[in-house]
Amino acid sequence: MSDEANLLYLLAALLFGYLLGSIPFGLIFTRMAGLGDVRKIGSGNIGATNVLRTGHKGLAAATLVADALKGTAAVLIAAQWGPQFATMAALGAFLGHLFPVWLGFKGGKGVATFIGVLIGLKPLAALIFCAIWLGVAFASKYSSLSALIASAATPIVLWLLGEPGMAGMAVILVALLWWKHGQNISRLLDGTEGKIGQKG
């Protein structure tokens, strides 16, 4: 395959991942349930955490799973043409969730999709992510802090697992995830971030 053709296929994998990742399951599920536009409540986010604010735990769980699996699906489908295509599809799926073309490029924060692409790329890394998340959540009771720390550890984990290419891509994902959590970071710093299970 020529360099030009390889580049075109990589861009196609990126676009494929983006289009799959940009499917706004949180918005679709809440509208199908007759709950209106989830962007008009709570944080205005389309992710599972904001869907939970509708009071429907089942919809929130479905959103979490769907947002993760769209990342996994993008990776596994693209992986049939090689690992580099899987990595590009992973990046595309994550970008699609954060910046969906269908919603004016205003999407979610990416934690579920981050886990989903890890499942597709390196299941052990996804397992380690979840273990770190659970450990930090148990100690701190902060969901956002758990996601921030677990994601920051991911490039190191991938590198140690012998996947430097994936680790490099993960650095980009982590930077975007932290940027999308800017308000959470500010609240963590000033002590106003809500804790897991906290009402109101």
Domain boundaries, the chain: 3-190
pTM of the entire predicted model: 0.91
Instruction: Identify the pLDDT of residue 1.
Output: 62
Residue 44: exposure state from Cβ atoms within 10 A (0-12, 13-18, ≥19): exposed
Q: Backbone phi, then psi, for 47, in 5-degree steps?
A: -85, 180
Average pLDDT estimate for 37-63: 83
Instruction: Identify the pLDDT of residue 65.
Output: 95
pLDDT in tens, 96-155: 999 999 998 998 899 999 999 999 999 999 999 999 999 999 999 998 999 999 999 999
pLDDT in tens, 13-49: 999 999 999 999 999 999 998 888 888 887 778 888 7
Residue 200 has pLDDT above 50, yes or no: no
| 89 vs 173: CA distance, rounded Å | 12
